[in-house]
A and B are shown apart, each in its own frame.
Chain A
Amino acid sequence: MTDPPDSLLARTPDGRRVLACAALRPELGSVLVYDAEPGTLDSIAVCLLELLSAITDQVEDVRLGPALTDDDLWGYGEGLPAPWRRPGLLIAPEGHFRLVVIPDLAQLSLAAARAAVMLMGEGAGHLQRHGQNRVFEPRLRWLAACRREDLGRVSPHLLDRFALRLQHRAARAEDRVASLTELIRGDRRDVRAATAEEVRNLREATGRCPRWQPAAGKAVTSYGLLERAGMRQELALAQAARALAQLAGAQSVGEDHVHEAAAVFGFAQGSVDSDDRVESRTAEPSCPAEPAQVVPPAEPVSASEGPTSTATEGGVAIRGPETTLPAFPLSGPELPEKTAAVERDYAPLTLPVRQARATARGRGPIIGVRPATSLTDLAMVGTVLAALQFQAVRHGTADWADRAPLLLQRSDLREYRRAPIAQDLLVLVLDYTCLAGRDWHAALLPYLAAAYQARAEVCLVAVGAHDAAEPLRAEALNARSILVPAVAAALDRRAGKATPLADGLALARDTIRRTLFHGRSAIQRVTLVVLTDGRGNVPIAVSREGRVIGRVTRQGIDDARRMAQELRGIERVTSVVLDPRPRELADLPRVLAEALGAEVVAVPEALPEVVP
């Protein structure tokens, strides 16, 4: 087994100071790494664990993923016999610390996301579950990874809880060669192990309490980090300054510590308040919340240079005193989560309501257990554990286990709480060649809104787009919801020359049949929306062959009608044809709708644009 690739973060002194601060101060103990490879996150986790072990002898890591429930996280069975107890992942035993590692924040289960919001950065946790009644000190540090393109799927409330942000950069080829050479030669120093000096320094730092000087506060506010609401960014900088002062053994936290923290943790000076600082950019005090970040460099330098160099490799660039920071903005629209396209539901941290439809019961990922309201989808283990507590009372003796069966009552029954799943599919066949001069966005909007509300999956069949890979064929884009950015992008394509409408309808037919009748899809209902003028000039055979055969005739139109008739026969499909009301062959959309068995809705004309 090979070691995970080292993160440069763990190899440079400044990088280790960042992690030491995260280990030392719970206020800084939540780190989010953008675009981290699994190996990178692992090596940062190893380093953090070693630094945490300087503070306490008992430290372990736990991993949170997409399938965890409240019982996994908070534990179950306190008071029950030992074999029935389940310790919680987030409840560290007395004297223990836990490093909570989240390999993919966008895939985190709802229960885990809610738990993270409750515990991250808090001095106390409250456990009120299944007879457990206590207030506890969390003793947790958090380390998570998320790809930038997935940030739109994560609740901003959760993202904001992270005090530190790091940007992973892929290693340069020469650095990887150097690393590989070291490995083969056996020259590689175990850079992950904390040195004795680091351990001693960290241990001593935990007992220090440097006083906060007013000048330090002024220095913090001079960075112009005020968000539209909240002071988290300023607090992060202040806490970073204090952590560095603790590590340095300083008696007080002064202005110098603030500027050092800004340099190490990557805050750019953004204010005119201080005459002594060089401004790197203009402050925007009304910008939204951003926590501290370490900034990547503009010019990567070899990892073999000394600790004062700027370096990049599999981790984070750490600034040295001789280098200048590039403009990786800390506030404004450029921050990854501020610019990420929104792909999350409204109120993503709320629990789903009970699914009323019988077809929905028993489907969807399990996110917890709750008292049962019916006999479907019972949670057996939860039911047994609930009943177990009452057996002694029901049997009249504590010594019932060997002699009597389990006595169940209705109040013991537990059912699974499941995340909602899509039961609806919107199939949109969009003919780009007929859209000019029509307000087709307005015509589509009700169907898109309905798809959003129903959390429907989406299949967008593109007919006649100018940038189609094969102009004579339609293309299908499948998305898990209307929020996926590719759907919005697909709606804005320009028209091509060919209109393979028959092929598009065939694609829609195949998608619908496969979804409804093959496999274990949860989809129960399909809405088919066809926006076309019906002038499909590409016959099915041409689409299949991929080349034009003979002259353009009515064959394409007839083929499209034939495909529509095949769609008509499919159950559980509601169809509608959006008619752009073409001037020529104006009855084609209606004819197509009749073949489909669909209602017809007219697409209004586009209003003329007002040119200022």
Chain B
Amino acid sequence: MSTKSIPLMPYTSIVGQHELKRALEISYVEPRITGVLVSGERGTGKSTTVRAFARMMRGTLPITLPINATEDRVVGGWKINELMAGKAKPQAGLLQEADGSLLYIDEVNLLDDHIVNIILDVTATGILVVEREGMRENKQVRFSLVGTMNPEEGTLRPQLLDRFGLMVSVRSEPDPSDRQQILERILGLDDPKIVAAGEHADEAEKTRIEEARQAVEMVELPPETLAASVRLSQAFDADGHRGELMLIFAARALAALKREREVSRLHLEKAAPLALQHRRKTVGAGETVAWDPEKDGARVREILGDD
């Protein structure tokens, strides 16, 4: 089945989900942000948005790692047809196929522990080690990891949680007119004219994001923003140093997306929940402390207000 034949809503046709879209765009603009974890209850459009984004930016659906994938398909194996004929021809695994691109895992919290360990190794070292038939190969791979999950079905190990540069908690749109629009868009997917109009709008959006990616290295980082990033990370008890790093990268990507030349307090404020919410101390059994937009948002503003 060609992935092009799968009906999918154009990215720009997706109503709402601003926080999720922001996180995906940031992650694309700044590849050193190693991916996005999308957490939300059922029926909130998580997977739709991720797939639509990947198709818009890369022209194809993301490389998808299903939760029941076997190791040979994750790490790489052999082409079975060729093996049966006596020829050993390697078959690239999903991690290799995702090199330079996006690796998508739906229901990431249901993934086999063994596969999780493999992904942790590869994302930490950037090296994929393939051992087969007495041979060992090391390949450099780098990909953006995007995972979606329903938190009711369990949490992620802290080590895996930390591999995601950003985290978004997704909720459904409460406003009735937004929901009507969502229904209209979903049920309009059968209409080629509506889809074509959406895909046309996607082209313009893609250009905007690509331009931001080209410009991100030139966005300036005033020293006070670096200090503020550290202060925020400490204030929210974020484990390790990745929190402030991801925060500053995310803030810079945001500035680039807005075509601004310098990172400001506002960019840090918007990036803080994405970079810090899943790095806070856990409440127990791996559950993260949920981000409270009002209370935690006020705290962020208070800390940044010291600049």
Contact = CB atoms under 8 A, between A and B. Distances in A.
Interface in B49-93: 61, 64-74, 77-81, 83-88, 91
A70 interface: yes
B184 A217 contact: yes
Interface string A120-140: 000111111111111111000
Interface string A139-177: 000000000000000011100110000000000000000
A560 interface: no
Interface string B86-112: 111001001000000000001101101
A221 B184 contact: no
Nearest to A74: B68
Contacts of B43: 160, 227, 229-232, 235, 289
A118 B67 contact: yes
B150 A157 contact: yes
A115 B68 contact: yes
B83 A393 contact: yes
B1 A134 contact: yes
A160 B42 contact: yes
Contact of B84 (A79, A132, A351, A411): A79
Interface stretch (B159-167, B172-180, B263-271): B172-180
Interface stretch (B120-128, B140-148, B187-195): B187-195
B158 to A, nearest CB: 16
A398 B6 contact: no
A346 B186 CA distance: 33
Nearest to B154: A347
Contact of A230 (B42, B87, B109, B188): B42
B66 A128 contact: yes
A212 interface: yes
Most buried by A among B73, B112, B176, B183: B183
Interface string A408-431: 010100000000000000000000
A2 interface: no
B120 to A, nearest CB: 16
Contact of B110 (A114, A135, A390): A114
Contacts of A230: 41-44, 172
A123 B84 contact: no
B154 A346 contact: yes
A238 interface: yes
Nearest to B70: A129
Contacts of B181: 217
Contacts of B150: 157
A209 interface: yes
A514 interface: no
A155 B107 CA distance: 14
Contacts of B186: 235, 238
A214 interface: yes
B6 A238 contact: no
Interface in A547-576: none
Contact of B183 (A114, A137, A212, A393): A212
B53 to A, nearest CB: 16
Nearest to B7: A123
B71 A131 contact: no
A156 B67 CA distance: 18
Interface in B169-226: 171-174, 176, 179-184, 186-188, 190-191
A470 to B, nearest CB: 43
B138 interface: no
Given A155-B153, A218-B180, A289-B42, A123 B6 contact: yes
Nearest to A400: B86
A520 to B, nearest CB: 29
A127 B66 contact: yes
A228 B42 CA distance: 10
B66 A231 contact: no
A132 B78 CA distance: 11
B183 to A, nearest CB: 5
Nearest to A258: B183
B42 A389 contact: no
B84 A221 contact: no
A128 B188 contact: no
B72 A130 contact: yes
A304 interface: no
Given A226-B172, A393-B133, A131 B112 contact: no
A350 interface: yes
A392 B68 contact: no
A234 interface: yes
A114 B110 CA distance: 8
Nearest to A348: B153
Given A227-B43, A231-B179, A353-B113, A79 B107 contact: no
Given A389-B84, A393-B133, A128 B73 contact: yes
B299 to A, nearest CB: 25
A229 B67 contact: no
A242 interface: yes
A183 interface: no
A396 interface: yes
B154 A217 contact: no
Interface of B: 1, 3, 6-8, 40-44, 61, 64-74, 77-81, 83-88, 91, 94, 106-107, 109-110, 112-114, 132-133, 150, 152-154, 171-174, 176, 179-184, 186-188, 190-191, 285
Given A131-B72, A220-B179, 8 more contacts: A74-B68, A81-B84, A118-B68, A130-B73, A131-B91, A218-B180, A235-B183, A390-B133
The 5 closest A-B pairs by CB, nearest first: A230-B43, A347-B154, A79-B80, A217-B180, A229-B41
